[in-house]
Structure 1
Amino acid sequence: MATPLKPTVDPEETLGRLDLRLGRIIRAELEAGAPKRAYRLTIDFGKYGVKTSVGRFTQQSPEALVGQQVVGVLNFAPRQVGEVTSEVLILGVQVPGADSGEASPLIPQLEAKLGSKVF
């Protein structure tokens, strides 16, 4: 059963406050210190630098993730995941039939410039 939609919001007060940018995964490895199976991703956001993220994208191999362009939220507060500081949230969607939280990253249909604003 689908969950109900959330109330309507003003885009400038919500989406407009997020710094969504395009990056490329340059490294992916299993993060042993995470409470659930997860990868430590190193992502190049062009002029915004190289950032670390810990995410549950483990339905794909690390080799399949490296080179993919992904969408990240750059202005969330960093959070500690085991011994790693996750600096950016990579957006994804739930993988059908997988454990709760297992995701597939959102990827653009066409290549774009690293650091590009997502809107």
Structure 2
Amino acid sequence: MMATELKETVTYEETLGQLDIRLGRVVGVALEPSAPKPAYRLTVDFGKYGRRVSVGRFTQHTLEELLGQQVVGVLNFEARQVGEVMSEVLILGVQVPGAASGEATFLTPERDAKLGSKVF
């Protein structure tokens, strides 16, 4: 199978420099029945940046596995309606091998770090 081509080179200022990506901790998690595909509603604490709600397809994890995990989120994307919920932050993840398209596992630091820390 041929790998997908890499995208063109861009500058930090054009891309990552415009995003506010920070570390948070999942403090609440529940199934979100109104989402069009199986998903969880996560409440994530970003320290001094407050708590934000995210709807994501992290359903390969149990509710118990997600609760308390440190996750990485983009705080300055526009909020998005997912089912009946406004998803205020995009939690970053990667595709779970063998799972349905879009089902993900979350990105997390190797060690606990301060909530609200900027990803760089």
Verify: 1:97 aligned to 2:98, yes or no.
Answer: yes
Output the CA distance in 2 between the equivalents of 1:79 and 1:60.
Answer: 23
1:13 maps to which residue?
14
Shift, 1:91, TM fit: 0.1
TM-score, length-scaled by structure 1: 0.99
Deviation sequence 1:47-104 (CA, Å, 0-9, x none)? 0000000000000001100000000000000000011000000000000010000000
1:27 maps to which residue?
28
RMSD, aligned CA: 0.5
Which segments of structure 1 move beyond 2 Å, counting only runs of 4 or more? Answer: none
Q: Would you say how many aligned residue pairs link Structure 1 and Structure 2? A: 119
Pairing of 1:59-70 with structure 2 (within 5 A): 59-70=60-71
Output the CA distance in 2 between the equivalents of 1:37 and 1:98.
Answer: 12
Residue identity (%): 72
- Structure 1 gap ranges (5+): none
In structure 1, give the amino acid aligned to 2:20: D
